[in-house]
Amino acid sequence: MSRGGAVRDRFQYGYDRSSQRTWKSNLAASAGDGQDEHYSYDGLYQVTEAARGERNININRSAIGGIPAKDEEFSYDPTGNWDNYIGKATGL
């Protein structure tokens, strides 16, 4: 999105072999904004963890660097229904 010629958001996404989004990075964000995201899935392709913060700069883009600004965990019952959620505002 551009206002007055300035780019505000420019997203780049990464996917695993089963086409599940594993990370999202805002290329237009300032360093330290903590706008990058990382997602983890279980064997049934259900999101089990979502974290927001500064992404590690590595070849796999496999984790958020340092302490996430926001961390969420999800769990499911045997039939695939969402039965537990843990949200951590500071990632601790």
Cβ neighbour number for residue 52 with a 10 Å cutoff:
18
pLDDT computed for residue 8 by the predictor = 73
Confidence of residue 35 (pLDDT cuts 50, 70, 90): confident
Q: Where are the domains of the chain?
A: 7-88
Smallest CA-to-CA distance from 52 within 19, 15, 26 is with: 26
| pLDDT band, residue 21 (cuts 50/70/90) | very high
Percent of the chain surpassing pLDDT 70:
71
Q: What span, in angstroms and rounded, lies between the C-alpha atoms of 76 and 6?
A: 42
Domain 7-88 has CATH 2.40.10: no
> Confidence class of residue 61 from pLDDT cuts 50, 70 and 90?
low
